[in-house]
């Protein structure tokens, strides 16, 4: 499962489409991919971007539009977003889409994450900084 993002601009969507074509050619499962398209500024989504989002329908798990949020630009994420924020609503939709795609890819409930292998302890015969320095 993967999450991709791009700007809601012509070049941003072009880059996303190129990436998706390469992923498809490599046999990667796009049906487990969630795409977030972020608006770089206020205003309507440009027509070419809307057309690209329509073309993604059915090819990826979800394509979510994330509107421009001036609060994030001015305050960062230190202050919570306003309750009626379009970005907050989009974030909820994005989180739901990612969780749903993860369940489709790995099952429900999700498996536990892998546990990393323990690191090997240094053996008494391995050189250490003190023995390396003493050899000089």
Count CB atoms within 10 A of the CB of residue 20.
20
What is each CA distance from 9 to 18, 25, 50, 86, 104, in whole angstroms?
A: 14, 24, 10, 18, 30
In the predicted structure, residue 51 carries a pLDDT above the cut 80: yes
pLDDT of the residue at 69: 81
Q: Residue 46's CB: how many other CB atoms inside 10 A?
A: 14
Parallel, antiparallel, or unpaired: how do β-strands 33-38 and 62-66 relate? parallel
Query: Per-residue pLDDT for 132 more than 60?
Result: no
């Amino acid at each position: 499962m993967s999450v991709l993002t791009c700007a809601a601009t012509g070049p941003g969507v072009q880059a996303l489409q190129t990436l998706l074509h390469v992923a498809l050619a490599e046999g990667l499962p796009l049906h487990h991919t969630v795409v977030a398209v972020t608006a770089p500024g206020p205003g309507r989504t440009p027509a070419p971007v809307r057309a690209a989002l329509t073309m993604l329908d059915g090819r990826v798990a979800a394509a979510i539009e994330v509107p421009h949020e001036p609060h994030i630009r001015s305050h960062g994420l230190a202050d919570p977003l306003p309750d009626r924020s379009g970005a907050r609503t989009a974030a909820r939709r994005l989180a739901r889409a990612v969780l749903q795609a993860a369940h489709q890819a790995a099952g429900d409930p999700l498996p536990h994450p892998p546990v990393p292998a323990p690191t090997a302890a240094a053996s008494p015969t391995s050189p250490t900084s003190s023995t390396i320095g003493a050899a000089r």
